[in-house]
Amino acid sequence: MKRQYKDFLNDIIVEISIVRDATFEITFEEFKENKILVRAVTKSLEIIGEAVKNLPDELKQKYGEVEWRKIKGFRAVVSHKYWSIDFYYEWDIIKTKLDILEKQIKDIFKKEKISFNKEIK
């Protein structure tokens, strides 16, 4: 069954929720020392980037305020240059960018009159 763009938008919401739950009450020091957590969060960010990559160009153009290229670019780093990931940069994404992205994606759901479900697929 072919996935629709709403499935990819849903993936973004689900992964943001996973990252938020995993990093809610920890410090940067605790984050970077926990190798398993770093891997899990990095994978979630990669999934977000892959979901963005699979969204139709028309949708990305329509909602140009979302930093689609930066998100997709980070996915490329995670996938192809994993050894160069900067923990501080990743932490900054977690703490300053994901809430904004979540709001933007939820706004897209609202404007496109589609609903999301927080299931991991």
Active site residues: 75, 80
Distance between start and end Cα atoms, the chain: 13
Angle at 41 between CA 36 and CA 43, to 5 degrees: 95
Sign, CA dihedral 118-24-64-3, equals negative
Residue 106 CA: distances (Å) to CA of 3, 42, 81, 109, 112: 19, 22, 30, 5, 10
